[in-house]
C-alpha cells in the first residue's frame, strides 16, 4: 500500500510541476476561464496533493463502483455549479474547443 501511495503522490506532484510550467500556463491562458492565469499557488498545489492522498485512501477502502460514482457526481456538480472540472480542464488543455469556452463564460 505504501508503494502505491508513494506512486500516487509522485504522479500528483509531477502533474503539479507540469501544470506550472510556462508551456502549460500559456495553454491554459488560451481558455476562456484562464485569462490572466499565472499558475497555481503553493497552497493550491499542496491542497491538491492532500486531496489526492485523501482520494487514495477513500478509493482503497470503498468499492470500485462507489469511487466511480463519486467521481462522476463531483464532475457533474462542478460542471453545473462553476462550469469547470477535471474533465473540462483536460479537454481544454489537449484540444481546446470554442463551444466549451463559450459555455464556460456563460455564452
**Averaged pLDDT of the chain:** 91
For 1, 77, 81, 105, the CA distances from 70, given in Å and listed in that order, are 22, 10, 16, 26
> What's the whole-model pTM score?
0.79
Q: What pLDDT digit, counting tens, does each position of 50-99 carry?
A: 999 999 999 999 999 999 999 999 999 999 999 999 999 889 888 888 89
Answer yes or no: is pLDDT of 14 > 80. Answer: yes
- In 10 A of CB 54, how many CB atoms? 10
Answer yes or no: is pLDDT of 5 > 70. Answer: yes
Q: What is the DSSP letter of 30?
A: T
pLDDT of residue 32: 58
d(CA 77, CA 104): 14
Answer yes or no: is pLDDT of 49 > 70. Answer: yes
Span 1-19, average pLDDT: 95
Answer yes or no: is pLDDT of 30 > 90. Answer: no
* Alpha helices, H only, the chain: 2-19, 22-29, 42-61, 64-82, 86-94, 98-104
pLDDT of residue 24: 86
Amino acid at each position: 500500500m505504501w508503494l502505491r501511495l508513494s506512486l500516487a503522490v509522485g504522479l500528483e506532484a509531477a502533474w503539479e510541476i507540469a501544470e506550472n510550467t510556462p508551456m502549460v500556463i500559456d495553454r491554459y491562458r488560451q481558455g476562456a476561464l484562464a485569462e490572466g492565469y499565472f499558475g497555481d499557488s503553493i497552497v493550491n498545489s499542496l491542497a491538491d496533493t492532500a486531496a489526492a492522498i485523501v482520494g487514495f485512501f477513500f478509493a482503497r477502502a470503498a468499492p470500485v463502483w462507489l469511487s466511480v460514482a463519486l467521481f462522476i457526481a463531483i464532475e457533474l456538480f462542478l460542471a453545473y455549479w462553476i462550469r469547470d472540472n477535471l474533465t473540462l480542464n483536460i479537454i481544454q488543455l489537449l484540444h481546446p474547443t470554442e463551444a466549451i469556452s463559450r459555455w464556460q463564460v456563460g455564452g
